[in-house]
Amino acid sequence: MAEITAQAVNEFRKRTGLGLMECKALLQEADGDMKKAETLAKERGLKKAEGRAGRAAKAGRVEVALAPDGKAGAMVELNCETDFVARNDAFRQAAKDLAEQVLQLGDKDVTGQKAVKDPARTVRDVLLDLNARTGENVGLARAVRFEATGRVDFYVHHDAKSGALVAVDGTEDPQLVKDLALQVVAAKPLAVRREDLPADVVAEQKRIFKMQVPADKPENIREKIAEGKLNAWYGESVLLDQEFVKDPSKKVRDVVNAAGQGITVRQFARFVVGEAAETEASAAS
């Protein structure tokens, strides 16, 4: 059996991020062959990852990457099981790398993509390595990539647990788009404008509001009250109809219009860590 030196153990640890004793044991089993030891580590990591797959991963962080010209941006939510791991340097870097990955290669089949930082591996391989390093169920919850003729910008809360990405045409003003992203995180709109809301969602809200009106009221009165409640709901749920969080005396629409002609808010996305996992759980129950 080959002698396993401290230098070899340290080098293997840098490659894999595993503990010293585990690195030494793997090198001993591989008779000092680094590549063989890495293969063993990967095989065992896969088995351990399979065992962790069912564990709840509701912690994590939101990260964003922007193109240098501000015309494109990407946002990801990377999940783990505990806040301790979410604050880990390797986890934070992995989230940043994933955001850059999505910016460069798009938001479709992200885990199947070749890793931008290491094309010899897929994103799935990188996440499995992180799974082994942290000992937690780590996974990409969701990702989006936006483009705009004007600007794409973002806001991420200081704890990285929530964030928004906004795409706007007709302006390159970063402050306006950042303000809109802050609005999305703070006020939680469902759509940019009323017509973007699904018709069935609007119909259900109107039905609920109408049910809240006493049945002994005349039908035209019930309809009028329900419409009033629906308009108030639009004011809470539609981005352009909301009160501007930085100046509640204005509507978001007023702020956008005041910034210049021809400005169109194209789209937004809002991520809150753990929400995707909760949605999946409720859908499965």
- In this structure, whether the domain defined by 59-195+238-284 belongs to CATH 3.30.479.20 is answered with yes
Cα–Cα distance measured from residue 7 to residue 2, given in angstroms and rounded to the nearest whole number: 14
Q: Does 204 have pLDDT greater than 50?
A: yes
Question: Confidence band (pLDDT; 50, 70, 90) for 216?
Answer: confident
Q: Does 268 have pLDDT greater than 90?
A: yes
In this structure, the number of other CB atoms found within 10 A of the CB of residue 75 comes to 29
The whole-chain average pLDDT of the chain stands at 88
Q: What is the pLDDT of residues 78-128, one digit of tens each?
A: 999 999 999 999 999 999 999 999 999 999 999 999 999 999 889 998 998
**What pLDDT does residue 12 have?**
77
152 touches 129 (CB < 8 A) = no
Q: Where are the domains of the chain?
A: 6-52, 59-195+238-284, 198-236
Q: Both tokens of residue 220?
A: 């035209």
234 touches 194 (CB < 8 A) = yes
**What pLDDT does residue 48 have?**
54
**What pLDDT does residue 282 have?**
35
What's the topology of domain 6-52? Helicase, Ruva Protein; domain 3 (1.10.8)
Q: What is the pLDDT of residues 14-59, one digit of tens each?
A: 776 666 777 788 788 878 888 888 777 776 664 454 455 456 568 9
56 touches 81 (CB < 8 A) = yes
Question: Confidence band (pLDDT; 50, 70, 90) for 3?
Answer: confident
Cα–Cα distance measured from residue 19 to residue 26, given in angstroms and rounded to the nearest whole number: 11
Q: Does 69 have pLDDT greater than 50?
A: yes
Cα–Cα distance measured from residue 49 to residue 89, given in angstroms and rounded to the nearest whole number: 20
